[in-house]
Amino acid sequence: MRKTRKNTIAVLFVLFVAIQNLNAQTSTLNFRSTDPKLDSIFNWAKKQALNYAFDGDQVGLWYEAALPGREAFCMRDVSHHAEGAHYLGLSAYTKNMLIKFAGSISEERDWCGLWEINKEGIVPRVNYINDEAFWYNLPANYDLLDCSNRMFILSGDRDYYLDSTLTAFYEKTVGDYTNAWQLALDQILTRNRIVNQSRKTEENERLLMARGIPGYDESDHGYNIAFDLVVIQYAAYKAYANLLELNGKFTEAKRCREIAGNVMEFIETSWWDVETASFYSHHHPDGFVDKSSDWPLIYWTDYDNTNRIDAIRKDILKNLPNKDNQQIEAQTYLPSTLYKLREDKAAYNQLEALFRNRRREYPETSFSIVASMVSGLMGLEVIPFAPSGSFKNGGYVSHVFKSLSHLPENVAWAKVENVPLRGREINLEHKGSNSTQLSNVKGPSLIWKAYFLGDHEKLFVNGIGMKAESEEISHGQILSYVSVNVGAGQTVKVEVGK
């Protein structure tokens, strides 16, 4: 009898696993290399992320982007998941969730959206009592706006600048939302920590004090503005300028870029601590507090102040987590940040650390690893040109594709396959740092800028020498590149030497 029961349990378990696998989404994205560790990290991240994607629920297409077990998605997490989700073929899932968030803003909540939405399409009660008492981190609106622009860049999906729900959200975010929460530059340092507060009761006290947290840091309860908020605000204004131009609103876009410039000037002049050669992390009512928090500026922007970049790099490297980090949410941003700084070995180590972390099932981990390996390790990016600049910089095209190897010395070659970008499927293979091959597997022809570290007079395209262009990047290094056309179904190899 006992043996029969054990057999029954075993059969039920196998059926359960089979059903779970049947329900899991699939993706053709693939990664291979000479490094078994990298292959294991990618394969785990891909499988884990796809297991978090669902359809058939009331909310529509969605993936988990919140604390495990919530069966929900959060504004900050979705904004960070989105890039990895795109590479996995989940762009429709991301768009559905972004539109759900954008459509949830209301004047009664001072133009905040819902911080979390669950699979039933409603807000979890743990984060919401009523419109006067709910959890909300104020960078979220700006983060969502910036994310929408990034998703347009990767996908070319015109809904990101035409959908009425999204465009209304963008307009409210840079206008009414910014004013309601006193986030314009003439108020941002003198505002109270929590504004728009109503009467405190025993029932609503916890959420009342979380209604408009002025940063993503939830451990420090004294600051009135955090560095990450102003950085993401800058990114949002730049993003909105691009989306406005796509809609032909050039005057509004110009004004938006001017505001973005003012925000960056504010960051550079007010937030830089000369003594520590780093940016302050928080501002309290009695002044700035130095906790050395430079990484948000690198992650969310293309910061290019050559006079400060070396100090920023040193500060970020000095403060990297060196053990099993329980604040895995912040750590998931680090590989991409380090790849942008060309700190390739440190980025590789952070990928390993995330893979080993006891909290690696947190959904953000797997999605961010996929993103870091495609656009970071492999350096595959879409470089957009706004309509006003495409004639001058883009050869009359709206975007080009860029590659730059970030393989560490111990990896002889690596290849990523079936990357969905702008209606195409792309394969990219690096052999060390001196040879790269791109295949335009599916979709229309494209312009590829193949970058290599170093100042090279010429690069070899399918074995034929071609004059190289060079540019100095903000990290004190010279890059050389050639621009080549890659037709539909075509493969092109570019090398430093024959």
As averages over each run of 10 residues, the pLDDT of the chain (498 residues) reads 45 38 79 98 98 96 93 97 98 98 96 97 91 94 98 97 98 98 97 83 74 93 95 98 95 97 96 92 89 89 88 91 76 96 95 93 96 98 78 66 96 98 97 97 96 95 95 81 96 91
Which of 85, 105, 237, 232 has the alpha carbon at shortest distance from 174?
237
Contact 149, 104 (CB under 8 A): no
C-alpha dihedral sign at 227, 229, 232, 233: negative
C-alpha to C-alpha distance for 69 and 106, rounded to whole angstroms: 28
pLDDT of residue 494: 98
Model confidence, pTM: 0.92
C-alpha to C-alpha distance for 131 and 58, rounded to whole angstroms: 23
In the numeric block, which tokens belong to residue 296? 């948000």
How far is residue 40 from each of residues 176, 352, 373, measured CA to CA in Å? 47, 10, 12
Query: Which residue ranges does the chain devote to CATH 2.60.40?
Result: 384-495
CATH of span 35-377: 1.50.10.10
Residue 361 is classified by DSSP as T
Query: Which residue ranges does the chain devote to CATH 1.50.10.10?
Result: 35-377
Half-sphere exposure of 169 (CA within 13 A, CB side): 30
The label of the residue with tokens 């693939």 reads 30
In the numeric block, which tokens belong to residue 436? 């790269």
Three-state DSSP class for residue 40: helix
C-alpha to C-alpha distance for 46 and 378, rounded to whole angstroms: 16
In the numeric block, which tokens belong to residue 168? 């209304």
In the numeric block, which tokens belong to residue 289? 């507090």
User: CA angle, corner 491, sides to 488 and 497, nearest 5?
Assistant: 145
| Fold assignment, 384-495 | Immunoglobulin-like (2.60.40)
Contact 42, 373 (CB under 8 A): yes
Helix (H) or strand (E) holding 388: helix 387-393
pLDDT of residue 9: 41
pLDDT of residue 209: 85
In the numeric block, which tokens belong to residue 302? 């293309």
C-alpha to C-alpha distance for 243 and 324, rounded to whole angstroms: 40
In the numeric block, which tokens belong to residue 6? 């054990």
- Based on the number of CB atoms within 10 Å of its own CB, is 446 exposed (0-12), middle (13-18) or buried (19 or more)? buried
C-alpha to C-alpha distance for 42 and 104, rounded to whole angstroms: 34
Strand order in the sheet with 287-289: 225-226, 282-284, 287-289
pLDDT of residue 197: 80
Three-state DSSP class for residue 286: coil
Q: What are the residues whose beta carbons fall under 8 Å from the beta carbon of 378, sequence distance 6 or more?
A: 403, 405, 406, 414, 416, 428, 430
